[in-house]
Amino acid sequence: MIPNKVTLVEVGPRDGLQNEAQPVVAAHKVELVHRLQAAGCCEIEVTSFVSPKWVPQMADNAEVMAGIRRQPGVRYSVLTPNMQGLAAALPTHPHEIVVFGAASEAFSRKNINCGIEESIERFRPVVAAAHAAGLKVRGAVSCALGCPYQGEVTPDAVERVVRLMKAIGVDHCGIADTIGVGTPRRAQAALERALKHYSLSEVSGHFHDTYGQALANIHACLQLGVQVFDTSIAGLGGCPYAKGATGNVATEDVVFMLHGMGIETGLDLDALVDAGAFISGVLGRPPVSRAARALLAKRGLALSAA
């Protein structure tokens, strides 16, 4: 079942940076996107069209979208939680939009200020309007493996949201472990529920690495044939409404593992390490990625030996 080719959706510019307290100027976000596409990233989640009062770091969404030098073959996506977000996003010409719900009622209220059923009713016209504009719609199911407010989340709760998303026409279903508490068998159980409603190519895993389980979870999902994962350059990020949650699994770490397994990604690991070093430099701290740190150390050694 293990696929020989995997697509990584780079969520660093959005999921990675949304949680940064320090301002990151739009020019640096644009530069990050340029470096990511130069490294071979062909799916990039750029920003989100959410309330700037809720997530100030994404307030420059339109400026960032306008600043990107688009590369053919690269798909740019943005988060749109409601019609207001979609209306603001459409003139910036994304290829895809993302609606984000949750398998936990409590998290849904904290994150998007409404319960699960109501969130689906908010998404319904967003999906229809995005389709009418020719855009693909991804759906994220947050807190699929655990909730910071509610604790345990069952596979039944995950499937309920997956089914609701499918019913309103969401094209792709991402199963998200927002707080990184999932472990491999639980990750498989959640993904299996998504696979009851979506094809293998339209299901993805989005694993935050808070408890260091993300690579193991990805490996477990590969065994189900899952071929799309969200990753974040340098391991940036977290969710403003999930305190203590770290970034998504680092892109560099996932690429190191996949290439080591002989699985194609189309990505250039060295160029990714450069992109991660760039944004980490902007933020004034080293990359969280273990592979990036190791490769940077190796480069340093090579330089000092030369």
> Which position among 31, 54, 67, 95 is part of the footprint of ligand HMG (CB under 6 A)?
54
* Residues 241, 202: Cα–Cα separation, whole Å: 26
Shortest Cβ 243–ligand HMG spacing (Å): 13
> Which position among 33, 173, 190, 239 is part of the footprint of ligand HMG (CB under 6 A)?
239
The span of 62-70, 74-82, 163-171, 285-293 binding ligand HMG (CB under 6 A) equals 74-82
The 3-class SS string of the chain reads CCCCECEEEECHHHHHCCCCCCCCCHHHHHHHHHHHHHCCCCEEEEEECCCCCCCHHHCCHHHHHHHCCCCCCCEEEEECCCHHHHHHHHHHCCCEEEEEEECCHHHHHHHHCCCHHHHHHHHHHHHHHHHHCCCEEEEEEECCCCECCCECCCHHHHHHHHHHHHHCCCCEEEEEECCCCCCHHHHHHHHHHHHCCCCHHHEEEEEECCCCCHHHHHHHHHCCCCCEEEEEHHHCCCECCECCCCCECEHHHHHHHHHHCCCECCCCHHHHHHHHHHHHHHHCCCCCCHHHHHHHHHHHHHHHHC
Shortest Cβ 192–ligand HMG spacing (Å): 19
Q: For 79, list phi and psi in degrees, rounded to 5.
A: -85, 135
Q: x/- contact string, 189-228, with ligand HMG (CB under 6 A)?
A: -----------------x-x--------------------
- 42, 147, 173, 239: the catalytic one is 239
CB-nearer residue toward Mg ion: 15 or 159: 15
Whether 147 is catalytic is no
140 interface partner picked from ligand HMG, Mg ion, none, CB below 5 to 8 A per type: ligand HMG
> Which position among 49, 76, 123, 229 is part of the footprint of ligand HMG (CB under 6 A)?
49
Residues 270-289 close enough to bind ligand HMG by CB under 6 A: none
CB-nearer residue toward ligand HMG: 111 or 280: 111
The span of 8-16, 131-139, 215-223, 256-264 binding Mg ion (CB under 5 A) equals 8-16
> Which position among 9, 13, 15, 153 is part of the footprint of Mg ion (CB under 5 A)?
15
The span of 65-73, 107-115, 146-154, 181-189 binding ligand HMG (CB under 6 A) equals 107-115
Residues tagged active-site: 239
Residues forming the site for ligand HMG (CB under 6 A) = 15, 18, 48-51, 54-55, 79, 81-82, 84-85, 88, 100, 111-113, 140, 142, 176, 178, 206, 208, 239-241
